[in-house]
Amino acid sequence: MTIEHDAVGIAVAQFAPGADANENLTTLAELASTAAERGAHVVVAPEYASYFVDPFDATLAANAQPLDGPFTRALATIAAQNDLTIVAGLVEQGTRDRVRNTAVAVDGTGVVAASRKQHLYDAFGQTESAWVEPGETGSVETFVVDGLRFGLMTCYDLRFPEVARTLVDAGADVVLVPAEWVRGPLKEFHWETLVAARAIENTIYIAAADHTAPIGVGRSMVVDPRGVQSAGIGPERGVAVGWASRSAIDEVRRANPALDLRRYRVEPTG
């Protein structure tokens, strides 16, 4: 594979978060160090990386943290040690007995962007909304690393193309997706198809990080603006690094100027 001169290394860090926040951080530190050694400047980790139990119960709210709490402060230390920006799923304190499912981006200075999951997983027999409050629609935060702009969305949001399009309208070149894509019939196919579709229709990079088996499908990956997977992992814990470049985006968009040719805009419904 040829790496462009302006390429930015993006790592997907795949593991199975659990109910021990310190253990989750230890794993994240190990994976982040590996990613940095392989040349990554940005790392995306799974959804619910700060705390996860299956099935959900009252401990979810009991272990929720503020946006600038211990988990993100520890992530900032890991980021500073490895010269990285790290994106991971945070169980953030919400209102009353529900939490926020937040994708948080942290560098050595602290939190640089945050995105609360907009579409909750009330599907395939699950009811995430019983425990989680949805994020506001139309609210977009991005951050820049080495000249590329990064946007955030979470897991089930992949099934709603409007979310990615909103991020592209805000200038995102790369969308990072922390996920807990639950196993089930055809779910691996859905995961791979939707990640590729969001990249193709927006001519952007998508980097999506899932939980390992047996709960998640694994298969974390980096996909380029043509929809081609440039890096990926199987079902096991690990790190894969893909490369994103402005010149590659420009080349794809010269051949396929779909964003310029579109005749519709996205507006939130509430």
8 Å CB contact between 14 and 233: yes
Question: Angle at Cα 209 formed by Cα 107 and Cα 102, nearest 5°?
Answer: 60
pLDDT value for 270? 73
SS in 3 state form for 79-143?
A: HHHHCCEEEEEEEEECCCCCEEEEEEEEECCEEEEEEECCCCCCCCCCCHHHCEECCCCCCCCEE
Residue given tokens 């990640």 in the structure block? 195
- The pLDDT of residue 3 is 66
CA atoms in the 13 A half-sphere facing the CB of 33 = 9
Distance from the Cα of residue 224 to its chain's centroid: 15
| Amino acid 64: pLDDT | 98
| Active-site residue set | 47, 117, 155
Given this model, what pLDDT does residue 161 score? Answer: 97
Q: Amino acid letter at 210?
A: D
Q: What angle do CA 135, 11, 114 make, to 5 degrees?
A: 20
Query: What single DSSP character describes residue 38?
Result: T
**Structure-token pair, residue 178:** 């922390």
Rounded distance, CA 268 to CA 136, Å?
A: 9
How far apart CA 266 and CA 24 sit, in angstroms, is 37
Residues of the chain with pLDDT under 50: 1
Longest dimension (CA), the chain: 51
Contact 244, 48 (CB under 8 A): no
- CA neighbor of 254 nearest in space, from 226, 223, 222: 226
Output the CA–CA distances (angstroms, integers) from residue 62 to 8, 59, 186, in the order listed.
38, 5, 34
